[in-house]
């Protein structure tokens, strides 16, 4: 895994152990919210101050300062992204793409206090303008355990595709 950004969030401590089934349910719910374009509910899966990253396809595990990104949103940019996608100003997603996500190989890599390191694989089928595209990625997330469930501290989707072909773009949320 790549070096983790130093997030200075005031996260709670938790003695509750979280297993794979709970993490799977969380990731499946996230996939459903994105596929059904429930972006406000999706944003509620993040703690304030969280970040979202999609490194470029040539990522070789560099530090965040060295790597290139398709998406590297801090909390303010993440909220602005959701607002823009819901408006008519997101021309690349108006009308929105139809997507279908398949999440699998979910693994709780580590738990330290209230924070989890989670890995998973995702395949996103995207349909837009009469064309079909397939995106494959690895999820490297950091989650926090809260009394009401799990939340993202860092949401990272690392593309596995070597390149994106004509018509492919990341105007939707990977």
pLDDT at 33 (0 to 100):
96
Q: What are the pLDDT digits (tens) for 43-89? A: 999 999 999 998 887 766 666 667 677 888 889 999 998 998 887 77
So where are the chain's domains? Answer: 20-159
What is the model's pTM?
A: 0.84
- 99 burial via Cβ count (<10 Å: 0-12, 13-18, 19+): buried
Please identify every stretch of the chain with a pLDDT value under 50, giving residue numbers as ranges: 1-8
The CATH code of domain 20-159 reads 3.10.450.50
* CA–CA dist 84, 73 (Å, integer): 14
Per-residue DSSP letters for 62-123? Answer: --TTT--EEEEE-HHHHHHHHHHHHSTT-GGGSSPPEEEEEEEEEEEEEEETTEEEEEEEEE
**Is 151 within 8 Å of 18 (Cβ atoms)?**
no
């Amino acid at each position: 895994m790549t070096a983790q950004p130093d997030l200075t969030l005031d996260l709670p401590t938790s003695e509750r152990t979280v297993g794979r089934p709970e993490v799977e349910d969380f990731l499946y719910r996230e996939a459903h919210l994105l596929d059904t374009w429930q972006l406000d509910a999706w944003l509620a899966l993040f703690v304030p101050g969280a970040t979202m990253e999609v490194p470029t396809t040539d990522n070789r595990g560099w530090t965040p300062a060295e790597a290139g990104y398709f998406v590297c949103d801090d909390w303010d940019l993440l909220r602005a992204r959701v607002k823009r996608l819901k408006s008519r100003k997101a021309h690349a997603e108006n009308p929105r793409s139809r997507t279908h996500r398949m999440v699998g190989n979910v693994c709780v890599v580590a738990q330290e206090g209230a924070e989890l390191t989670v890995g998973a694989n995702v395949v996103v089928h995207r349909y837009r303008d009469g064309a079909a595209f397939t995106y494959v990625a690895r999820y490297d997330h950091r989650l926090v355990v809260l009394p009401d469930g799990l939340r993202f501290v860092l949401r990272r989707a690392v593309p596995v595709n070597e390149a994106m072909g004509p018509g492919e773009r990341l105007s939707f949320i990977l």
